[in-house]
Amino acid sequence: MNIIMSEPYNYELVKENDGFYINIMCGSSSLFEVKVVISAKDSEEFINNKGKLNNFLKQVRDNPELYIHR
């Protein structure tokens, strides 16, 4: 596991073997982590475009149930 970039209590963008995923902290009074598998292209876009990353984080946090089994 190689953490590419992260913000504590926010997210971790991770490369593991040949794949990428992002761990996203969700919740308010109770925190939980949602692990979302992403493509290499998405990973590169998130690294180069913080706005795109923040939009994706918001999407997941607003509807984590859509991403839990992705």
pLDDT per residue of the chain (70 residues) written in tens, 0 to 9: 899 999 999 999 999 999 999 999 999 889 999 999 999 999 999 999 999 999 999 999 999 999 887 5
**Residue 64 phi, psi dihedral angles, 5° rounding:** -60, -30
Q: Are 21 and 14 in contact (CB under 8 A)?
A: yes
Q: Are 20 and 40 in contact (CB under 8 A)?
A: yes
- Given this model, what pLDDT does residue 6 score? 97
Q: Which amino acid would we find at residue 59?
A: Q
- Given this model, what pLDDT does residue 70 score? 58
